[in-house]
Amino acid sequence: MSDEFNNEISNLIKSNEDKFLSFTRQYLKKFYKDIFMKQQGVTPSSKNGPSFLKGLIGSDRYIGEKDGVKYKICLPEFSTDVFDHVSFWNKDGKPYFITYQPYHIRNDGMEKLQEFCNECDLRFDIVPMSPHCPLASNMILISRKSDPETNFWIG
């Protein structure tokens, strides 16, 4: 391509930078989500929160008791960076994994994530990019330890 053409394209993008970035983000978001769903063989779940978690771990387990009150396992609170932009995914019509798509991952969030996974006999994998905001967010895939390891990579 000619330098003149490249300059025209560059100027067009600069003059419409916000629109271009918005379009690019939306396109990449759909593109990565479609690839993710195809690679993993998953679909978005209509269940969420406790009902999805119960299906994923196979029970309504309790993690402890205090003063005669039993405490159920529940999804981690969204108070830490790790637990941002949650999605629930089915495979073959059954709960398969949970994804979080944070912009940042810090120590306290990792500790809570590890604690949650240990309590529920789950594991997590961290992927360097996510469909939520490609090139700006990570993806944490939470699945049963007994399921095959997930592997999502676009490259």
pLDDT at residue 42, as a whole number: 93
Q: Is the pTM of this model over 0.75?
A: no
Average pLDDT of every residue of the chain: 77
Closest CA to 127 of 149, 153, 148, 95: 153
pLDDT at residue 131, as a whole number: 77
Burial class (CB in 10 A: 0-12, 13-18, 19+), 96: buried
pLDDT at residue 69, as a whole number: 58
Higher pLDDT, 114 or 15: 114
pLDDT at residue 63, as a whole number: 54
Domains of the chain: which residue ranges? 3-144
With a cut of 60, say whether residue 11 has pLDDT above it.
yes
Question: Could you give the C-alpha distances from 40 to 10, 28, 100, 138, 151, in angstroms and in order?
Answer: 37, 18, 16, 17, 8
pLDDT at residue 64, as a whole number: 54
In the chain, % of residues over pLDDT 70: 79
Higher pLDDT, 111 or 79: 111
DSSP 8-state secondary structure symbol assigned to residue 83: S
Report the C-alpha gap between 39 and 144 in whole angstroms: 18
Mean pLDDT of the 3-25 span: 74
pLDDT tens-digit map of 59-109: 666 555 556 655 555 666 555 566 777 889 999 999 998 888 888 888 888
pLDDT at residue 68, as a whole number: 62
